[in-house]
Structure 1
Amino acid sequence: MRLKAKITLGVLFLYLMMLLVSVLGYYYLKNLNGKARTILEDNYESLEFSKNMLTALDAMPLDRSSALQRFENNLKNEEKNVTESGEAAATAAVRKGFEQLKRDSIPGTGVDKTIRQSIYVIMDLNMQAIVGKNEIVKKIADRALLYIAIISGVCFLLGFSFVYNFPGYIANPIHELTKGITGIAEKKYSQRLHFKSADEFGELATAFNTMAQRLDDYEHSNLARILFEKQRAEAVINSLRDATIGLDNKNTILFANMPALQLLNMQESDLVGKPATEAGKYNDLLTFLVSRQDNAPLKIVVDGKESFFTREQVNIHYENERIGHVIILKNITSFREQDQAKTHFIATVSHELKTPLSSSDFSLKLLEDDRIGHLTTEQRELVESLKQDNLRMIKIVSELLNLSQVESGNIQLQPQPVSPDQVVRYALDAVQKQAAQQQISIRTSLPEHTPQILADVEKTAWVLVNLLTNAIRYSPEGADIALNVEQQDERMLTFSVRDKGKGIPAAFREKIFERFYQVPGTQHQTSSGLGLAIAREFIEAQGGTIGVESEEGKGSMFYFRLPVAV
């Protein structure tokens, strides 16, 4: 039977029970009402008529004619309302006595007594009838009450059972179904429903069990492969020598390999599956790694030893959508140590070379002095060539010493308020002779009332000299070089050097500030490729910026900006 049919039959049964009680109550109430009306019509009216006739007899002595008339009227009504056995004979006796009473002229005779006795008989018969009929009505009422009570009790028990059991009949399968769906959602594919009914719930249980069985089969068919892939992925991650931490789009930590756990000094259970903000409440390194965006080297003390790492972030995309990222810490301690060793070696070698080079330069100058002796023309040419090579070596050694200072972080800066004019004059004095040799003129633009800058005079002048030297070196003979100083905003002052050389191709403009880099095809015999790299370090160390604007065939403009002294 279908669930709809069961609900319909249950409601119909309750309706029929209510209808049966209503019909039974109506029947007995109507029956009792009929019995009461019969008593009223048959017996009570006869008693009323009898009473009126006795009253008329009592009034005979006072008003005979009126009393006879009332007696006549009530007697006629009584004759029409004869219902009980023996009532007709008593009524006939009353009629007979009344007719004789009308003929007698003297009242109070024995006829009056006879009439009264007959009336009493009528009243007695009706009184007995009322008592008898009342017993009958009482029995009918008792029987009706019994039947209604029995049927009502049965209806109540059936209705109570229906109300108590039927909601459970509907709700229990739904509860079991909800529990089963929850189990399926939690991947408990062994969940089954067991409904014995053949209605919709039975069909639902069959469909649910089929679905659960198929999911269970699918889960077991793929579980081994999934577990294998998961274990292989974990093995790959743990085999990485670099510390690796994976996070999703909500910054929830997905995995962390052993090197990462060792660096963070945390357990895997304290990291995986938790938001990075929560896991980093008591770990400053984790908070730093998650919030940091630059890739500058960072120092971490591991087992009492300083180690250096670089932070790299790799975004993970799936179907053109970013689903997370991986933070990788690469250990560069060995490279850092090698770099420091290289820097110390360069500084040591440069320092050791600078002394003999200075001595040889002094010796070459002595050879040019006529007081030592006169040189032939060929000898003077050889000394001049040796002198130029010696100067070039001294410059390279000086640049190497500056580079070693930059790399070691020991740049000795003495920033102080200084006039831009002082820096410009220092630089012009240093390059004037070189510019005159190539017949190059330097046009200077320095506005009046230029504010002072906060800079190290020697290092800033060195940068400007380097830019002017490069401009002279790569400009054609007889060209002009523009040296401009201008204030573009309230906080920075700009120094720029514009030449008319060949220009720099766009592909090489971002690389010319790298160490030992030279634009292909423009190498110069006196260039080491370190000047612009050192210049950038000097300017940035003073809180400034350096850059270049160039176009092939139209020359270049190198510039740097330094903060204005407050």
Structure 2
Amino acid sequence: MLRTIKAKIALGIGVLFVLLLTLSVIAFVFINRISHNTENLLDANYKTIRYCSQMSYALNTRLRDSNMRALFADNLCLQEQNITEKGEREATQQLRLYFELLKKGMNDSSVIDSANKFLLTINRLNQHALEYKNAQAMQEASSARLWVSIITAVLILISFTLAVNFPDYIAGPVRLLTEGITEIAQKNYSKRIYLDNKDEFGEMAAAFNTMAEKLYDYENSSINQVLFEKQRVETIINQMNDGVIGLDAKGRVLFINVTAQHLLHLTAQESKGRYAPDLALKNDLLRMILQNEPGAEPLKIIVDGKEHYFSIDNRSVHTDDQSIGEVFMLRNITSFKELDISKTNLLATISHELKTPIASIKMSLKLLSDQRTGSLNTEQQEMVMNVQEDAERLLRLTSELLNMTQIETGNIQLKLQKVAASDIVVQALKTLHIQAEEKKVEIAVSVAEHIPLILIDADKTSWVLINLLGNAIKYSTAGGLVRVEATYADRNVMFSVRDNGPGIDDQYAGRVFERYFKIPGNELGGSGLGLAIAKEFIEAQGGTVSFRNLPEGGSVFSFSLPAAI
């Protein structure tokens, strides 16, 4: 039994070859037989009839003429060599006898008539033979035509059957395999190919079914595991107190947990699969979440009649350097905000309460230093001076804390008025000239001409410049130089303070304006509030602050305010 496609193809081609060879042999045999019969018909009987015609002409014309006798004798010899039919030999022999008689001079009519009789007999025998052989040739031709037609029809039928069935035998399994591969590509792992073939196609179908079965098992096991993990993750997300919203790469909502639904007044059914910006058109809170910028203030949301605070954290999800979605999280920071408010209120209360005893201490120190209350020895004077410095430091700290509480509560009170830039510089110099003299630091002042007035809170702006100038003096080396400049450009007045100190390490440069930040290892650092308060005061007046290190050493702190024009 044939088990390979190669053998079956060879068999099909072999059958066609044998059929073609059979048809060729049969056609050759019949054609050869018809040719042979036709050749006999022409070479034998036809020649005899021609010989008889020549002899009859010579016999009935002038046989006494030597030429005619020679003609008769030649054709008679030829006829004697061309005897093919039954009875033809005897008639030819009799014709030879009568010819001999004629040669001897017996020319009477009875001899001639007898010779004509035997010529007619020979001619009739060959004519009958011609008719018979013609009929036989016709019969052979008809038989050949019949057999060739039958065999041709059989061969055509067999060839047609092979032409119809054999390609389908090859193409059918290939088509089934193509359909199977297409289904597998579409993740239809239940697809199977059923073939009864025992050849390579059967082996191919069996291998395909094995592959599909393994893929089906793997897919089912993976899907079950993925579904379980998905359900577990969804359960965890729904139990979170923070609101969580997940978007796919096209901005459609993938999931939204219970907390987020409650905050946004949305349900999972009406939001899942929807384009998030479309939902945000009718949902202000969702629009604020989607438009959130880093560093934005926490959102205050009224939930069940109570104020809650939420910070927005959004993360892009990537895989193989490709973004596949985004996750927004509303972190409930209400408890932290309440603690922060309590801390701010506590600091405000403590700072306010400390100012009174500190003021009393300063007054007492002033009275002690007055000669009218009595003289102090040197040691007592040093103690009073130390206490006075500590009181001043405490007063500055309480002032900074009070300023910070104003900032944190958003209650910065601004007394705006038009002030000249030179007045702010003069006020700062007047406050710090003693500190500069004690450290032997030279202060170089440069105020540009024709600077327009600025609409500012003079006290808070002076406080900022005093803070920057005080830091510059503090961090400058003894005998160093501090530059204070005021310039005007692009409708803004800029104040800058440049020192020749060690500068600030680049890794901390981005944090100098953070609250309570102190540069590690800096023994001259204060509370870490001064620069943060300065930034808030300037930005509250519509200005900006900046910082940069100088290549040659030292640093520059600047702030700019819009001119009142």
TM-score (norm 2): 0.71
Q: Is the 8 A contact 1:399 1:531 kept in 2?
A: no
**Alpha-carbon separation, structure 1, partners of 2:261 and 2:136:** 101
Amino acid at match of 2:432: Q
- 563 and 217 in structure 1: CA distance in 2 versus 1, 3 angstrom threshold: same
How far off its partner does 1:35 sit?
0.9
Unpaired segments ≥5 residues, structure 1: 273-277, 369-373
Report the equivalent of 1:156: 156
Equivalences, count: 537
Report if the CA contact (8 A) 1:242-1:328 is conserved.
no
Q: Which is further off, 326-335 or 135-144?
A: 326-335
Q: Tell me, in whole angstroms, the C-alpha distance in 2 between the residues paired with 1:561 and 1:57.
A: 157
What is the letter of the counterpart of residue 77 of structure 1? Answer: L
Q: What is the match of residue 129 of structure 1? A: 129
Counterpart position of 2:11: 9
**1:31 offset after TM fit, Å?**
1.1
Displacement of 1:86 in angstroms is 2.3
Question: Aligned-pair RMSD on alpha carbons?
Answer: 5.6
Q: Deviations over 1:411-462 (max 9, x none)?
A: 979999x9xxx53552233323422354155443649789989996957665
Structure 2 residue aligned with 1:139 = 139
Partner of 1:73: 74
Question: Does the CA-based 8 Å contact 1:454-1:562 persist in structure 2?
Answer: no
User: In the alignment, what sits opposite 1:404?
Assistant: 406
Distance 2:145 2:441 in 1: 135
**5 Å matches for 1:10-159?**
10-56=12-58, 60=62, 64-101=65-102, 109=109, 112-159=112-159
Distance of 2:313 and 2:471 partners within structure 1: 37
Change (3 A) 1:192 1:521: closer
Shift of 1:352: 9.3
Question: Separation in 2 of the partners of 1:288 and 1:9?
Answer: 78
In 1: Cα distance, 2:401 partner to 2:239 partner: 44
Instruction: Write the distance in 2 (CA, Å) between the matches of 1:223 and 1:521.
Output: 56
8 Å CA contact 1:196–1:202 kept in 2: the answer is: yes
- Asked if structure 2 preserves the Cα contact closer than 8 Å seen for 1:193 and 1:205, the reply is yes
Q: Matches of 1:281 and 1:105 in 2, distance apart?
A: 141
CA distance in 1, matches of 2:300, 2:103: 147
| 1:231 and 2:227 matched | no
Superposed counterparts of 1:64-463, under 5 Å: 64-101=65-102, 109=109, 112-181=112-181, 191-211=191-211, 225=225, 227-245=227-245, 255-259=254-258, 263=264, 265=266, 267=268, 279-280=275-276, 282-283=278-279, 294=294, 296-297=296-297, 308-313=310-315, 327-332=327-332, 334=334, 338=338, 376=373, 397=399, 400=402, 404=406, 408=410, 423=421, 426-439=424-437, 440-444=440-444, 446=446, 458=458, 463=464
Shift of 1:172: 3.2
Q: For 2:131 and 2:543, how far apart are their aligned partners in 1?
A: 128
Pair 145,555 (structure 1): closer, same or farther in 2 beyond 3 Å: closer
Q: Give SS of 1:282's match.
A: helix
Query: Would you say the 8 A contact 2:316–2:323 is kept in 1?
Result: no
Quote the offset at 1:557 in angstroms.
Answer: 1.9
**d(CA) in 2 for partners of 1:73, 1:252:** 119
Corresponding residue for 2:534?
535
Distance 1:56 1:564 in 2: 154
* Unmatched 5+ stretches in structure 2: none
Which moves more between the two structures, 257-266 or 192-201? 257-266
Contact 2:500 2:555 in 1 (8 A): no
Query: Could you tell me how far apart the structure 1 residues matched to 2:287 and 2:407 are?
Result: 33
Q: Distance in 2 between matches of 1:41 and 1:287?
A: 115
Alpha-carbon distance between aligned partners in 2 of 1:556 and 1:284, rounded to the nearest angstrom: 50
Q: Which amino acid aligns with 1:258?
A: N
Larger deviation, residues 339-348 vs 35-44? 339-348
Aligned residue in 2 for 1:497: 497
CA apart distance, 1:184 = 5.4
Distance in 2 between residues matched to 1:510 and 1:324, nearest whole Å: 32
